[in-house]
């Protein structure tokens, strides 16, 4: 799930309250390139006796395919991780500035301040640019912003700085966490899966709103075949990204959480 510290709509406190309304007892917030939501979320979660697993979502590339990699059970005070996240957020700002400059050259007079207002101090990303474009009526809807202007290979697209899958997995591991390939969906080929498994990923996000039953079963089989961990969740952002129906309807059971904790314990013993 994502909060206003990245591209989510709700504050950590608001998100925890929503999770409680859905009777969730164990959750993880995985903001993009940020762990800044955790303290506020943890304080609110105490009220409801809710367990929060510290998380983060990072991007990686092998030069061709971009992977999103989730880190769970991370030490969010780990200095190396904090340094990397600070650098990533600065790179996000620079990328957003370049995208706005390209939009301006396309005769779309979007101001960078409008994008900053959407980000509300969180890790800035293309969703904030899309929201600003829609709100200022430069484009009709959020999806169209990506399809025509800022999506991959579109006129205002800009690459972002990312590490290799191996580097990203190692960073998560160095912060005491477990790494999971996020929402592989239909676009992840067998070769890509083999590549990320060889890179040392701990698990795969089996359950996701974008996965059909067939895909869920497929990735569950991959997890079993390679002795990986399985994760799952709603990837909830709120607002235009998805509605409340996703929250609480995509999850893993307590056995999956316990399997993650056993893997963490075995890693520390080793």
Backbone angles phi, psi at 53, to 5 degrees: -90, 120
Whether 247 is covered by a domain: the verdict is: no
The rounded distance, in Å, linking the Cα atoms of 251 and 208 is 8
Residue given tokens 């952002």 in the structure block? 237
pTM: 0.86
Whether 130 is covered by a domain: the verdict is: yes
Closest CA to 236 of 17, 45, 19: 19
C-beta neighbour count of 262 within 10 angstroms: 11
Whether 146 is covered by a domain: the verdict is: yes
| CA 97 distance to own-chain centroid | 21
The rounded distance, in Å, linking the Cα atoms of 10 and 122 is 12
C-beta neighbour count of 135 within 10 angstroms: 12
Helix (H) or strand (E) run with residue 256 in it: helix 254-269
What CATH number is given to the structural domain containing 113? 1.10.150
The rounded distance, in Å, linking the Cα atoms of 150 and 145 is 6
Tens digits of pLDDT across the chain (270 residues): 999 999 899 999 999 999 999 999 999 999 999 999 999 999 999 999 999 999 999 999 888 888 999 999 999 999 999 999 999 989 989 999 999 999 999 999 999 999 999 988 888 999 999 999 999 999 999 999 999 999 989 999 998 888 999 999 999 999 999 999 999 997 888 999 999 999 999 999 999 999 999 999 999 999 999 999 999 999 999 876 556 788 999 999 999 999 999 999 887 654
Whether 198 is covered by a domain: the verdict is: no
The structural domain count of the chain equals 1
């Amino acid at each position: 799930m994502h909060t206003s510290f990245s591209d989510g709509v709700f504050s950590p406190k608001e998100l925890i309250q929503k999770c409680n309304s859905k009777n969730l007892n164990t959750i993880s917030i995985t903001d993009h390139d940020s762990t800044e939501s955790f303290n506020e979320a943890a304080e609110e979660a105490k009220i409801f006796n809710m367990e929060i697993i510290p998380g983060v979502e990072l991007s990686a590339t092998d030069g061709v395919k971009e992977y999103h990699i989730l880190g769970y059970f991370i030490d969010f005070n780990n200095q190396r991780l904090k340094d990397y996240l600070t650098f990533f957020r600065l790179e996000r700002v620079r990328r957003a500035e370049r995208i706005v400059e390209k939009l301006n050259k396309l005769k779309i007079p979007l101001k960078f301040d409008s994008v900053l207002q959407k980000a509300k101090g969180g890790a800035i990303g293309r969703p904030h640019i899309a929201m600003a474009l829609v709100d200022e009526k430069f484009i009709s809807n959020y999806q169209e912003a990506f399809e025509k202007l800022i999506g991959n290979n579109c006129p205002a697209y800009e690459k972002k700085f990312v590490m290799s899958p191996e580097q990203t997995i190692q960073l998560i591991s160095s912060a005491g966490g477990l790494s999971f390939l996020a929402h592989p969906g239909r676009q992840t080929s067998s070769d890509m899966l083999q590549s990320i498994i060889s890179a040392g990923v701990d698990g795969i996000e089996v359950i996701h709103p974008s996965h059909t039953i067939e895909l869920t079963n497929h990735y569950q089989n991959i997890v079993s075949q390679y002795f990986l961990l399985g994760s799952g969740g709603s990837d909830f952002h709120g607002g235009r990204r998805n509605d409340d129906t996703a929250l609480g309807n995509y999850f893993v059971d307590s056995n999956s959480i316990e399997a993650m904790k056993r893997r963490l314990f075995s890693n520390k013993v080793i």
